[in-house]
Structure 1
């Protein structure tokens, strides 16, 4: 690398030496960067002052000593040098002509550099000046005023050429800056645009299709309604009209055709009245919303656990007393009527125990356990499990259009959810009813599972309260916790549940985030993100023993930089708690769902909100672990 840099420097100096003018470049610290041979020849500069790093003030002192600025008293030299240094530190573009001590004339043209410092070009214009003098001496026909005008015009032309060169450099810098800004805007994961007073786009960074799939990218000149489509335009129109009246706003809406959640900011531009336009910033926050909902549900679980744990403990003690007392009574010689009451009391107590278990399921902390799941095999196993329960009571039909590629899901949690829905549908149908279970992918965003029955459907009250804990339409036979558990498990995974009626009965639709499982691949470059140096080195050795090549980071910022620079990374293994404010969950959240196989590790308890949020996005390996456990975790067999 040093040899290449030296060759480049030599080639640059060789090129500068071909220029007929003298040239010097000083940096912002007034140290010489480079000067050509003509600079040395014109001012007879010695070798030490031609070397990079030579001091500007020392060069001025040398020129004074040579008489470049005429005879100068010794007591004025220091002030003269300081004045030149001050002017150089506050450098401004300039052009002037001066006569040297030896009678020759030079023009001096200077321009500042964007990174600090300046470049100066010195041109010998002695011959031009002599021609002007000769013309003045020999042209008796020309008036002194005309000659002066000609001389002034020549000087002005030279100064104009200098100004044009400076303007060209400014134009080039502005063009480069504009190109960089446009490239930056087009790389942002958001749509940035400006809408004119006529509701047509005047600027767009061509990222609309990244926010709303299926919409065009080149929308400059299009009307807002045509670019966004009917659904999105209806949602944003009231806010847009208020922005044209001068009121800024930030809001969110659901874009139904694409099932995306979108955040939009409208900012009026500086114009007034009919000339006012609006700046637009919009971004897809579907993933963010899923995470936010999951965290909200986690908090609800914590509150419910706090409220019920004490009551459940006391209630459990009471049930134990009741069961023990009734068991003693059952052994006594009591009338048949009393035995019937004892049996009823025992049945109620046992149902109370079952209710406590269901409460523990709802209020307990259970993090999702994402594993690669073959939906075809999963649905087949579910059918085998559910058929005996439904046989003779309802007919089950299954429609599965999900491709065979494995998806990252919690199969146990999903099985509990679907079995619960199938049993509810069975009870709603009654004998001879039909149940349809459909599984499909929606907009490459969701895994959608729908259970539809031919029962009477949900009542108006049930449509409003079906997902509330303890709400039931089954009377004493229902706990009111079934659909609440379905809702709870779906929200923890970042999904959603919708209850509705169809023309034939009731319907429950469950949506879970679509996360494709990474395909098994040969060992490659792995990014290890861990802030404990000793532990990082230990895990690195484990990965290298698995034939992975490892690159390390201690923070999310470092990891993001590495991911941008090394697209060949095949695996990401990150601790959840890291240096700085960002966590491993933040790092995984920024990655596309199926871009790079990503895994988390942590010493946090499974009840910790970050553990739960991380487990909804990627497999999590608890610490401590052995090399064998890590190998099985990363490469399940």
Structure 2
């Protein structure tokens, strides 16, 4: 709101001025006065934004009004609006402090003049305020400089500490990013490689049934062994990239180490002495029992290779509470852990090797002596399990690798060694052959799956995509089990499973995958080891889990008798 003080004795002229002010385009208010006493009383600082004044009044003139305004409210812009203002008089008025003058015959100029006067007044106000602030700044500058100097001097030591810590964190971040990038690459390679191995392994098994010559059987066995080594390689890659399927359970690491002693001794050879230091009352660890055995074995083999002639291997367990923040990506965050440490008296590792020791395929061993995946697999498994690893090593003295695993809270009982008779009940024979829908976008993989399950006595329907599978079920939903690939273009297995659950809630699903997102599988209900078959297929695993799924549909709760354990 623009506040205007108008000195005008003519009612008509006042109305004309007010009409002209409407063109300003902004709200305004006018306080009108007609004589000296009223003007003198109204012209006070901060009350008005602008003064408009006639030049000739009966008992008062504009020059006198300008003098009063300059004395009482010098910051308020003053504009003459008069019908008799001559050029010489106007010049004198401007010299005495008026901002502008307008003749009543040219009132159309008034809005522009008013806006300009207000803008100039605001600019002068801003300038004075800036000058005052600058003056205050100059007056306090020396004091502020002294205070700031003291602050900088006091924080210099802390700043140096922060710089060192930042460099450490940046180094750790770069390492973590490099390992994450390699992990993403290896998981993709493992997925595609597992599909290839499924086709290779499956067809080797089929050929082995048809070929009878000893020479052919020997060659097929060599091929099968190579395919199995490839499957183990992809399992290690998935472990590093933290994409493997884990089944964490409460595990006593003391029992694990004790049960592995004979295996470790045979792997170490007679020249290496094995010692164990097992803490009594050790907390149970929440970990995949099979995978932690592989980690301990791999670390022990690495230790053996680091000891050229004899030496000592020590395996230690302990309850540990970590309080410090990690300095490297593989180290544990603060918390309670169950620790198992493998220490050797070997050659140790220099710092440049320690920096890369968890990278896949990085090895200092001779060609053919190691894949460079042992520590990478341990790293991936331990981080996926929620723990960490620390390496303490000195060149020429040996290395200690400590594995930290999350503890189980609360009471813990050792798992029983055998299943009860009720758990091992035979599934009743089905009155008809079960119908399976096999869904896989890879034709060669699908053919291997179909052949194995058809030979197991099942009736097979097939689909090459998720949409094709849904269309097949729409046409005929009389299916006992859907065997569903996880990684497919378009709709992946999780999305297909979600849609099947919506349309056919009771339909059982068995996932077949070379690599799967654990979270996505859990979302669609694949929470147990019997709901997933890993590619490439281990001998009998696919047939066993399909039979179990079909039997559970016929009579929920029954389990099949099995002479073997599903592969991981």
TM-score normalised by the chain length of structure 1: 0.32
Greater RCO (CA < 8 Å, at least 6 residues apart): 2
Of the two, which has the highest radius of gyration? 2
